[in-house]
Structure 1
């Protein structure tokens, strides 16, 4: 039997960073694998995990709970058949609803294959005062369905933020199996074996499904050519802008970093060829990485407000011309 855990959390909370931390400390005698989902068509998280030495399966272009559900089971089956891991970590999109994913994992299809462990949900305490987060049905159910609730980025939080998280977490019912506070995604691997609670139920199980059926959850438009492709989209009250680019030259990292910060997007992730080699960026954190298989750079921004994709596109093209 294969252990499987969901690592959930809203946009920009640090799920990928937490998974990198877990993978760096997983038992040397065990094979672990990751299935990562992104709401947009531009897959970046897979590149952020590429140097961890574990098998990573990407599912981009929709949430695992709805649009990408068939690709989810296909990707999960591929991991099981080809890699035969001891544990699978699943990272749904920050806008994803975990209920259907959990139902699939614990259903008859995988009853003799998977042992569904506790769901770990990361929360940024600074977001608890924001109605955009706290009142979002997906955020509510990410928290409600979690067995382990983790306040992340506590080094960036005020004392009031921490107090608000403690009050929020302790008021949840059913109570969490574990409540913890960390910084930089330092989730303890032992928490993946915390006893779960099978009685947890989603409060808004149909919220995301309604958006999909109404045609709101996924609306994307691709423009350009294979060398320079832009994909704009919106869904669940958020706007997306993504790029695939075959760079003609290395881009200056400092200029690129400043340009991305100026967008003030709620979340941005990318993979670029810079003067320092291939580099990934995850909300201002830059790291070395391997070159992508297709040789293309990629970038995705997500924000509740409209993104100036035309302006950013023009600035990126100037960088590409040197």
Structure 2
């Protein structure tokens, strides 16, 4: 019987470079029509999906928004894979050679792999990839347990942000991941395109394992991240991006180490412009201008630990901002 597509689960800490890694792969491919990408966003604004769509050339994409795929969305994942394969067959095209799942930074691979047993007939070949941010070592933070679960399960570990650290930090990261998972293949490439090629090279035909289930498994998944909450902010189209950045920096200053991630889409200088503002912890990246064809609503996602709606409401804000809590 013919083998199915490679199914790549890309996990890693919030802001560790998962989207950039996939984007580099797509940018290096003249034709991505044999690749499908499923993006899991913890918040309901699909910002990472919008970014990846700018790099796609014929790529198929599905999104799993407003939830963590390892906790409450495994059935949605199964349905998304089935739908992608079905529409591919209906279109009379050959099988995908690769399906990539970009997990939320909160996700642990174990429950995701367990859910794939429902797709045994597709004969998926499994490849677990995890990113390790050399500039913010994940094993030194409050997300220690999630990071260990991601790295220990990986077939391939990719060192990211290596251009932002000294050689000593890079060597320390290499020693750490080899100590934690000596069986994993470690990608330690400076070039983004070389890093992507190595990361997605198949480690061999690894079948999805048959994993037993029990009646309490879904309840356990809902409790994986009890202290983490995801908030969405809505605002009007007349917001100035400089004001939005000041407001986001106020949030970072108020929450401090409790802040895990910010991703926000705000108006640019012109009516059709959209800027992406984002932070990992309290460290902000330079604003990124999205292409005009990119369709993504205005709004912000804030992921924080031990934070309630009252904490955010007490922070000085722009006019016309409303908050919703999702997790």
TM-score normalised to structure 2 length: 0.75
2:233 maps to which of 243, 262, 266: 243
1:253 alignment partner in structure 2: 241
Counterparts of 1:29 and 1:41, CA distance in 2: 26
Identify if the C-alpha distance between structure 1 residues 32 and 103 changes in structure 2 by more than 3 Å, giving closer, same or farther: same
Counterparts of 1:32 and 1:197, CA distance in 2: 18
Counterparts of 2:231 and 2:32, CA distance in 1: 41
Q: Does the residue aligned with 2:77 lie in a helix, a strand or coil? A: helix
Cα shift at 1:93: 1.1
Task: Describe how 1:1-322 pairs up with structure 2 within 5 A.
Answer: 1-28=4-31, 30-53=33-56, 54-83=59-88, 85-105=96-116, 107=117, 109-116=119-126, 118-125=127-134, 126-128=136-138, 130-133=140-143, 135-136=144-145, 138-182=146-190, 187-196=195-204, 212-213=219-220, 216=223, 235-245=225-235, 247-249=236-238, 251-264=239-252, 265-276=259-270, 277-283=273-279, 284-285=285-286, 286-290=288-292, 296-306=297-307, 308-311=311-314, 314-315=317-318, 317=320
Cα shift at 1:189: 2.0
TM-score normalised to structure 1 length: 0.76
Counterparts of 1:141 and 1:81, CA distance in 2: 32
Cα shift at 1:152: 0.7
| CA RMSD in angstroms, aligned pairs only | 3.3
Cα shift at 1:58: 0.9
2:282 alignment partner in structure 1: none
Cα shift at 1:128: 4.4
- Tell me how many residue pairs correspond in the alignment: 289
Cα shift at 1:316: 5.0
Q: Give CA deviations for 1:114-153 in whole Å, capped at 9, x if unaligned.
A: 332x3211011232462413x31x2112101111111111
Counterparts of 1:214 and 1:76, CA distance in 2: 20
Counterparts of 2:157 and 2:20, CA distance in 1: 16
Q: Is the 8 A contact 2:37 2:60 kept in 1?
A: yes
Counterparts of 1:161 and 1:209, CA distance in 2: 38
Counterparts of 1:14 and 1:281, CA distance in 2: 15
Q: Does the residue aligned with 1:242 lie in a helix, a strand or coil? A: strand
Cα shift at 1:313: 7.8
Q: Which runs of 5+ in 2 are unaligned?
A: 89-94, 253-258, 280-284, 322-327
Q: Is the 8 A contact 1:177 1:194 kept in 2?
A: no
